[in-house]
Amino acid sequence: MVADMEQTPARLAGKPTWLVTQLAVHAHRLSSEGFAEVGARGYHYRILSTLDEFGGSSQADLGRRSNMDRSDVVAAVNQLADLGFVERTPDPADRRRNIVTLTEAGARQLDRLDEVLGRAQDELLAPLAEEERATLVRLLTRTLEHHRNA
Amino acid sequence: MVADMEQTPARLAGKPTWLVTQLAVHAHRLSSEGFAEVGARGYHYRILSTLDEFGGSSQADLGRRSNMDRSDVVAAVNQLADLGFVERTPDPADRRRNIVTLTEAGARQLDRLDEVLGRAQDELLAPLAEEERATLVRLLTRTLEHHRNA
DNA sequence: AGCCAATGTTGGCTCAACCAACGAAAAGGA
DNA sequence: TCCTTTTCGTTGGTTGAGCCAACATTGGCT
């Protein structure tokens, strides 16, 4: 039996793009599994948390703030509305727009999502100490910010 | 005009899973664009770099080392073989296996891929100083390592 | 009035990741 | 030696995130 058949080539393992995309696979799996426990998905959390923080918004604004395509917002809001977590009402001041608002049930669902998502964070960063986690978050935030405005 | 319609909710922006997956979108876009310049894709680089570092391998080993599903290795090796970058020969010692080897042309293609991929790294980490990049790579490596062995 | 921009919606597309099943072949245990 | 289990390559899927184009409706601007 040859030593370690699972070791990744150095050219790959050292590249930031590799590290980020591979870790994203785990991050996505962890958060998706958490969301699935309460019958939700990633796009739902984006919508609900945006509504909670900024209040009722048009779908276009929801998309801009949660980094979603307009068409994906439509589908997510449809599902959330079917579940009674959001309400869609026409904007009287602009008849192109819908105003999407968070319901009571939606706020409770958001609490549940926050809890399972919090556990996912812990699992993702399990090997890091508290200070290292803060450093990582700081560096990732700076980097992401740069690409958001570019 | 309301202030900043593009700001992301804090609950989202602060979560490591969010930061990692969102940054992965940029990482993936940057490396994909680079690969496309030389007519390649991510899976090709994984295969070629693994072959370069570990020498001829079975497809199963390639998959394990480059973190790919067996079925995806088949497709990638097919394409690389069509392009003349790898060769597939049956293993005389184990007739289930194919031994995949890197050709001269494949080695040259790998050099081209390394160059464009290097530029992608610089773009991805543009806002970070050299020391910060090293710190980020270190933290990501530790975290990824943890999930690889779990 | 006329033109351009924004909105919601439909219907598509790509790609990475992954899974199930299969026959062939090897490995290992009784 | 049989028999079971495992591995390998391969085929043929599925899912989900991120997109893009087009369209009709409506607003804003000049």
Query: What is the ipTM, given to two decimal places?
Result: 0.93
For the segment A66-81, the average pLDDT, to the nearest whole number, is 97
The pLDDT of residue A4 is: 56
Nearest nucleotide to B68 (CA to C1') is C17
Instruction: Give the C-alpha separation, B85 to B106, whole Å.
Output: 4
Name the residue among A122, A119, A113, A125 with its Cα closest to residue A42.
A113
For the segment B118-141, the average pLDDT, to the nearest whole number, is 97
In contact, A106 and A85? CB cutoff 8 Å: yes
Answer for A41: CB within 7 Å of strand D.
yes
What are the pLDDT digits (tens) for B100-120?
A: 999 999 999 999 999 999 999
State the pLDDT confidence band at A150, using cuts at 50, 70 and 90.
Answer: confident
- Stated as kind and residue range, the H or E segment containing B116 is helix B104-124
Read off the amino acid at residue A141. T
Instruction: Give the C-alpha separation, B47 to B67, whole Å.
Output: 10
The pLDDT of residue B2 is: 45
For the segment A83-92, the average pLDDT, to the nearest whole number, is 96
The pLDDT of residue B5 is: 61
Helix/strand/coil for A97: coil
What are the pLDDT digits (tens) for B14-70?
A: 999 999 999 999 999 999 999 999 999 999 999 999 999 999 999 999 999 999 999
| CB burial readout B98-128, b (16+ within 10 A) else e | bbbebbeebeebbeebeebbeebbebbbeeb
Structural domains of chain B sorted by starting position, each given as residue range(s) with its CATH number in brackets: 27-138 (1.10.10.10)
Task: Report chain D positions within 7 A of protein CB atoms.
Answer: 7-13, 16-22, 25-28
Instruction: Give the C-alpha separation, B125 to A146, whole Å.
Output: 9
Nearest nucleotide to B1 (CA to C1') is D28
What Å distances lie between residue A115 and A56, A120, A122, B13, CA to CA? 23, 9, 11, 16
Average pLDDT value for chain A: 94
Name the residue in chain B with its Cα closest to that of A61: B5
Residue nearest to nucleotide D24 (CA to C1'): A96
What are the pLDDT digits (tens) for A7-17?
A: 899 999 999 99
B window 34-63, beta carbon within 8 A of A: 45-46, 49-50, 52-54, 61
Alpha-carbon gap: B49 to the closest alpha carbon of chain A (Å)? 7
- The distance in angstroms from the start CA to the end CA of chain A is 50
Pick among B7, B17, B131 to test the A interface (most A CBs inside 10 A): B17
Read off the amino acid at residue A134. A
State the pLDDT confidence band at A5, using cuts at 50, 70 and 90.
Answer: low
Alpha-carbon gap: A107 to the closest alpha carbon of chain B (Å)? 14
